[in-house]
């Protein structure tokens, strides 16, 4: 069997006909289907990138001490994660690529089990399938049964639902994994995109992990926080032994973040002001869309964090996608994220102010 045959169909291809319908709207499409940043990359990132542009030599896979220390300081300053050192973290070229490769790089394979949330970013499944491992989508530890997973994924705040897992639950999962020798990987790419309710907490926070990183990895991205999606800037942190294993594999594969991008990444990690300003922009867009959706008869579930509204009209998701497309609005069908999403759509609030205003007006018609 070819590797491509192991992988699920790329879900976004199914949305093409609805995108075409939305584009036919007299005022054009409002694309809320993908959470891609549209606001400017911070000037300090561009300045750092330009200053480091003379970069003729090969960078190292482990990354510069500057970028690793900046990430360590950011986690401590903003998220209360203490105890990390330079051997506990490496920068990566985009967290989607990292997530897809982690099962393979951590030696998961035939006969191993990878567990991820019931409603989940599709790349968790892709990574398990790429490695040839079995996989299970569930939110219940009991449902795992007697098998011991090689890897268990958490995602809080969640993509697509915006749900935040409480500290008590995170602690329980950490303990469950440690009792079984399961590697726990927490996708925390939306950790700073928080709007209401209980604040998201990293699995590396001492209240969750007890001050030990054993068996734990946390994945972080600067795509949303700092509008660096085009730079492919992220990092993975946690258990030094696991980080060391990833480093050894990645050295052999030549998976190296470009030096100028590392410089830009360090610059934005050292600065919180631009992130706070972007947070305010997203908060305003979210509030406008939330009011418009509820006014149009939608119910919005969870959505306490992340960059999406998890919305439903109590009908099959493709009917909702069609209803929105007739109004020139493109949303992602919930079934892209698992069967449990069959009556929801995921609506991103990363469009420009002008496009968000257009969507609000159309929902009121």
| CATH number of the domain encompassing residue 324 | 3.90.1150.10
Look at residue 6 in the predicted model and tell me its pLDDT.
64
Residues 36 and 110 in one domain: no
pLDDT value at position 3? Answer: 64
Give the confidence band of 14 by pLDDT, cuts at 50, 70, 90.
confident
Kindly tell me if the per-residue pLDDT of 1 is higher than 60.
Answer: no
Q: Is 120 exposed, middle or buried (0-12, 13-18, 19+ CB in 10 A)?
A: buried
Last residue of one domain, picked from the residues 270, 299, 330 = 270
CB 164 within 8 A of CB 156: yes
Residues 242 and 357 in one domain: no
Yes or no: say if 208 and 216 are a contact pair by the CB < 8 Å rule: no
Last residue of a domain, one of 218, 245, 270: 270
Asked if residue 48 belongs to a domain, the reply is no
> How high does pLDDT run on average in the chain?
95
Model confidence at 230, pLDDT cuts 50, 70, 90, reads: very high
- Is residue 49 one of the residues assigned to a domain? no
Does any domain span residue 45?
no
Whether residue 151 contacts residue 108, with contact meaning beta carbons closer than 8 Å, is answered with yes
Alpha helices per DSSP H over 189-272:
206-209, 240-253, 259-269
How high is the pLDDT of residue 2? 61
**Whether residue 222 is found in the same domain as residue 333:** no
Q: What is the mean pLDDT of residues 304-332?
A: 97
Residue 317 near residue 336 (C-beta atoms within 8 A): no
Q: Which residues of 122-150 are buried (b: 16+ CB within 10 A; e: fewer)?
A: bbbbbbbbbbbbbbbbbbeeeebeeeebb
Say whether pLDDT at 262 is over 90.
yes
**Residue at 300 is within a domain:** yes
Domain match, 197 and 212 both: yes
Same domain, 36 and 102: no
The pLDDT value given to residue 7: 63
Domain boundary among the residues 270, 296, 315 is at 270
Is the same domain home to 266 and 298? no
Mean pLDDT of 336-359: 97
Question: pLDDT by residue (tens digit) across 162-218?
Answer: 999 999 999 999 999 999 999 999 999 999 999 999 999 999 999 999 999 999 999
Q: What is the average pLDDT across 238-258?
A: 96
Q: Which region, left, alpha or beta, applies to residue 297 given φ > 0 means left and ψ of -120 to 50 means alpha?
A: left
Same domain, yes or no: 205 and 332: no
Report yes or no on 46 lying in a domain.
no
Tell me the residue range of the domain where 192 lies: 54-270
* Residues 287 and 348 occupy one common structural domain: yes
pLDDT of residue 75: 98
**Global pTM exceeds 0.85:** yes
State the pLDDT at residue 324.
98
Question: Residues 136, 227: one domain?
Answer: yes
Same domain, 133 and 266: yes
pLDDT band, very low/low/confident/very high, at 4 (cuts 50, 70, 90): low
State the total domains in the chain: 2
71 lies in the same domain as 220: yes
pLDDT at 23 over 80: yes
200 lies in the same domain as 243 = yes
């Amino acid at each position: 069997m070819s590797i491509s045959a192991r992988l699920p169909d790329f879900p976004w291809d199914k949305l093409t006909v609805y995108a075409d319908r939305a584009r036919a709207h007299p005022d054009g499409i409002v694309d809320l289907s993908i959470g891609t940043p549209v606001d400017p990359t911070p000037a300090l990132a561009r300045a750092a990138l330009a200053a480091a542009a003379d970069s003729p030599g090969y960078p190292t896979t482990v990354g510069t001490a500057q970028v690793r220390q900046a990430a360590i300081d950011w986690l401590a300053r903003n998220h209360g994660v203490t105890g990390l050192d330079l051997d506990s973290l490496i920068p990566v070229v985009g967290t989607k690529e990292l997530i897809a490769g982690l099962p393979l790089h951590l030696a998961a394979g035939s006969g191993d089990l990878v567990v991820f949330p019931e409603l989940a970013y599709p790349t968790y499944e892709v990574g398990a399938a790429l490695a040839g491992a079995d996989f299970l989508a569930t939110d219940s530890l009991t449902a795992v049964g007697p098998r011991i997973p090689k890897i268990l994924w958490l995602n809080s705040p969640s993509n697509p639902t915006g749900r935040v897992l409480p500290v008590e639950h995170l602690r329980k999962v950490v303990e469950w994994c440690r009792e079984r020798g399961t590697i726990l990987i927490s996708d925390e790419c939306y950790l700073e995109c928080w709007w209401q309710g209980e604040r998201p907490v990293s699995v590396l926070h001492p209240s969750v992990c007890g001050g030990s990183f054993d068996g734990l990895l946390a994945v972080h991205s600067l795509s949303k926080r700092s509008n660096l999606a085009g730079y492919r800037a992220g990092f993975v942190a946690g258990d030094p032994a696991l980080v060391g294993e990833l480093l050894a594999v990645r050295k052999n594969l030549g998976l190296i973040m470009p030096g100028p991008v590392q410089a830009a990444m360090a610059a934005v990690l050292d600065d919180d002001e631009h992130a706070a300003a972007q947070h305010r922009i997203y908060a305003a867009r979210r509030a406008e869309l939330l009011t418009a959706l509820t006014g149009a008869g939608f119910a919005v579930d969870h959505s306490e964090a992340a960059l999406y509204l998890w919305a439903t009209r109590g009908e099959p998701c493709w009917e909702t996608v069609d209803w929105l497309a007739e109004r020139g609005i493109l949303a992602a069908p919930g079934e892209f994220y698992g069967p449990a999403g069959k009556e929801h759509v995921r609506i991103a609030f990363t469009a420009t102010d002008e496009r968000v205003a257009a969507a609000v007006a159309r929902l009121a018609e």
